[in-house]
Amino acid sequence: MFSKILIANRGEIACRIIDSCHRMGVATVAVFSDADRAARHVAMADEAVHIGGPAPADSYLQAERIIAAAKSTGAEAIHPGYGFLSENPDFVDAVEAAGLVFIGPSARAIRAMGLKDAAKALMEEAGVPVVPGYHGSNQDPDYLAGQAESIGYPVLIKAVAGGGGKGMRRVDDPGDFGEALISAQSEARNAFGNPDVLIEKYVLQPRHIEVQVFGDGHRAVHLFERDCSLQRRHQKVIEEAPAPGMTAEMRKTMGAAAVRAAEAIGYKGAGTIEFIVDGANGLRPDGFWFMEMNTRLQVEHPVTEAITGVDLVEWQLRVASGEALPARQEDLQIRGHAFEARLYAEDVPAGFLPATGRLAHLSFPQGARIETGVREGDTISPWYDPMIAKVVTYGPTRAVALRALETALVDTEVAGSVTNLDFLIALARHPGFRAGEVDTGLIGRDLDALVAAAEPDPRTRVLAVIGLAGLADPSVKGGMTLWQPLRRTVAWEGGEAVVEVLGPGAARVTLDGHAHEVRWQGDRWWVDDALRRNRIVSHEAGVSVFGGRTVHLKPLDPLARDSAGAGGDALTLSPMPGLVKSVHVAAGQEVKAGDRLAVLEAMKMEHSLTAARDGVVAEVLAQAGDQVEAGAALIRLEEEEE
């Protein structure tokens, strides 16, 4: 076994790898950018080396600096985590040329699976079913349109170099093919420097079921499947293992296909074979097709660990250090069921816009496995994936594990940034999901209801007002202090309410023209006679209410109000660093509140930036193709007439 390894990553995955190293007595070296000096992964590691500026290109993608850091600290091996350099075969070559061990597959195996078209051809040869379609090299638009015709609509155009759901277009109507092809190619060229596409049959009612494999370079085993069908825009939101409705026969067939795939490329280490499954008529052993292989540890690997009892990072280290495969296929078994929810700093009602902020309050429940790279007081910066944590639960049955997920999410507390917590809770309560009727379209079909369920409701806001009024303070609770005026106005950014203390443990809150009666006893709250098990928490950024529906109120800062009054809504600022994809207005043009002004691409997604109010465009300060920083002014509206 290695005595010291370097982790070429950050955030939750760096911390998770360090956890296993600690348990195994392997010393750890972290690397960090300027933005991560005080990050959790740096604090957890035995040593840490600074590798550059906050942009990934200046630090976590700086292969040479990372290898130099490993050499100078005496690390024998490098664990790449996921993302960043993890699937970069040139990095593997460089690590090995430096006399170090890459904890992962060979450069050759990564190259074999790097492009979806070549991977599909290889898998076909190995006897693994692939999605019907065209994955040849002819990129002539008329030829591709002809292929789409013969595959039969609907079809999916995919970037061969794709990842993270990019460069993909579903086409239902032959008349739309030409335009969809052009936009998929241009997205692929921008994102991956490779415009080539393949065409696939679009599987109706698709389910994403993937198989965890593990190889020693010759032989491989599988650790069963994960269902990742709960997706938003082709990105995973909640994952589970095993897959609901899976039969023993299909599991065996899929597992064998995945092992064939891994062995065909002499795979070493942890990998994932992603299959698309036709969920229209239940799961059938002839109804799954290879989509792609991810040649690394997968974000959702903990659900597999939960049901198999295997520590996949420990296995990675053992096999990389020369040990044989730690288990035979017949030693591996599924016990129980597990879920993982990805908790992100993002603004759900604003279209899942990535958010940032200092985590003024952060508390996770017992009873769930929490994988996180942040602590209370840490900042979610605009530079990296805005993931706050993965919440993983386990139970003897799917129903128990899902209840545990719902409870764990309800008991999670994050303040200082908006999050997708309430959206995840709404999903965990979704009747179709509960029934195991998952497919990749579930979230999209019910998006409006799921988002609405994640919006703050009036009664939770009333409790936040009680918090702001100081009535939830333990020293005040159940009674009132003499200095509390009986009736007063409480104001916060975005609103105000009148609070009247009626007596011990009772108040009336008038909010948005409605009077609500609030009573409390210990940590129980009644709003309009409905019992609420909410938690009211005060912190440096204001007051938050947690427990199913989250509300944050920030006390009014008189200075902030003044500056907003001075034309704050005239400027549309870039909410994060990104690439301006398109600008939709010109100087002199009239716009209405909510109109799309520009589209920004950041964090794997496109974000529409909309007008804050009606007005006339005074100035367009950015153009398509510009790389902009967070806070950069993009569009200015003319000042409003007084």
Residues that bind Mg ion (CB under 5 A): 274
- Tell me how far, at minimum, the Cβ of 171 lies from Mg ion, in Å: 19
Among 32, 39, 78, 83, binds ligand ADP (CB under 6 A): 83
- Tell me how far, at minimum, the Cβ of 236 lies from Mg ion, in Å: 9
**In terms of CB distance, is 239 or 411 closer to ligand ADP?**
239
Closest CA to 345 of 308, 384, 298: 384
Q: Answer for the pair 521, 426: CB distance below 8 angstroms, yes or no.
A: no
Q: Which residues contact 187 (CB under 8 A, 6 or more apart)?
A: 159, 166, 167
- Tell me how far, at minimum, the Cβ of 475 lies from Mg ion, in Å: 53
**In terms of CB distance, is 80 or 542 closer to ligand ADP?**
80
Q: 149-165 burial, b for 16+ CB within 10 Å, e for fewer? A: eebeeebbbbbbbbbee
What is the footprint of ligand ADP within residues 129-148 (CB under 6 A)? 131
Q: Answer for the pair 341, 409: CB distance below 8 angstroms, yes or no.
A: yes
Amino acid identity at 372: T
Separation in Å, CA 258 to CA 206, 209, 224, 317, 447: 19, 11, 10, 22, 33
Burial of 199 (0-12, 13-18, 19+ CB in 10 A): buried
Among 28, 62, 185, 298, binds ligand ADP (CB under 6 A): 298
What is the footprint of ligand ADP within residues 250-289 (CB under 6 A)? 274, 276
**Is 82 among the residues that bind ligand ADP (CB under 6 A)?**
yes
CA 226 to chain CA centroid, Å, is 17
- Which of the listed partners (Mg ion, ligand ADP, none) does 554 bind, with a CB threshold of 5 to 8 Å by partner kind? none
Stretch that binds ligand ADP, among 100-108, 203-211, 254-262, 626-634 (CB under 6 A): 203-211
- Tell me how far, at minimum, the Cβ of 236 lies from ligand ADP, in Å: 5
**Is 162 among the residues that bind ligand ADP (CB under 6 A)?**
yes
**In terms of CB distance, is 63 or 360 closer to ligand ADP?**
63
Helix (H, G, I), strand (E, B) or coil at 563: helix
- Which of the listed partners (Mg ion, ligand ADP, none) does 123 bind, with a CB threshold of 5 to 8 Å by partner kind? none
- Which of the listed partners (ligand ADP, Mg ion, none) does 276 bind, with a CB threshold of 5 to 8 Å by partner kind? ligand ADP
* CA–CA gap between residue 484 and residue 466 (Å, rounded): 12
- Tell me how far, at minimum, the Cβ of 204 lies from ligand ADP, in Å: 8
Stretch that binds ligand ADP, among 105-113, 200-208, 345-353, 614-622 (CB under 6 A): 200-208
- Which of the listed partners (Mg ion, ligand ADP, none) does 236 bind, with a CB threshold of 5 to 8 Å by partner kind? ligand ADP
**Is 54 among the residues that bind ligand ADP (CB under 6 A)?**
no
**Is 234 among the residues that bind ligand ADP (CB under 6 A)?**
yes
Instruction: Give the x-and-dash track for 344-383 against ligand ADP (CB under 6 A).
Output: ----------------------------------------
**Is 231 among the residues that bind ligand ADP (CB under 6 A)?**
yes
The H helix count followed by the E strand count for the chain is 18, 40
Burial of 550 (0-12, 13-18, 19+ CB in 10 A): buried
Catalytic residue list contains 296: yes
Q: Answer for the pair 82, 38: CB distance below 8 angstroms, yes or no.
A: no
Closest CA to 362 of 552, 539, 522: 539
Going by their DSSP bridges, the two strands 220-232 and 206-216 should be labelled as antiparallel
CA dihedral 339, 290, 13, 54 (to 10 degrees): -130
The secondary structure of the chain in percent helix, strand, coil, rounded to multiples of 5, reads: 30, 35, 40
- Tell me how far, at minimum, the Cβ of 299 lies from ligand ADP, in Å: 4
**Is 156 among the residues that bind ligand ADP (CB under 6 A)?**
yes
**In terms of CB distance, is 580 or 603 closer to Mg ion?**
603
What is the footprint of ligand ADP within residues 165-184 (CB under 6 A)? 165-166
Report, in angstroms and rounded to the nearest whole number, the Rg of the chain calculated over CA atoms. 26
**Is 10 among the residues that bind ligand ADP (CB under 6 A)?**
no
Q: Which of 296, 318, 459, 532 is catalytic?
A: 296
Three-state SS annotation for 153-203: CCEEEEECCCCCCCCEEEECCHHHHHHHHHHHHHHHHHHHCCCCEEEEECC
Measured CA angle at 574 (ends 572, 576), to 5 deg: 155
**In terms of CB distance, is 551 or 628 closer to ligand ADP?**
628
**In terms of CB distance, is 274 or 305 closer to Mg ion?**
274
- Tell me how far, at minimum, the Cβ of 638 lies from ligand ADP, in Å: 37
Separation in Å, CA 196 to CA 70, 185, 432, 467: 36, 7, 37, 56
- Tell me how far, at minimum, the Cβ of 231 lies from ligand ADP, in Å: 5
- Tell me how far, at minimum, the Cβ of 210 lies from Mg ion, in Å: 8
Instruction: Give the x-and-dash track for 85-124 against ligand ADP (CB under 6 A).
Output: ----------------------------------------
Burial of 282 (0-12, 13-18, 19+ CB in 10 A): exposed
**In terms of CB distance, is 52 or 279 closer to Mg ion?**
279
Q: How many alpha carbons fall within 13 Å on the CB side of residue 556? A: 16
* CA–CA gap between residue 321 and residue 319 (Å, rounded): 5
- Residue in the shown chain whose Cβ atom is closest to ligand ADP: 83
Residues with a known catalytic role: 296
**What residue ranges bind ligand ADP (CB under 6 A)?**
82-83, 131, 156, 158, 162-166, 200-203, 206, 208, 231, 234, 236, 274, 276, 291-292, 294, 298-299, 385, 440, 604
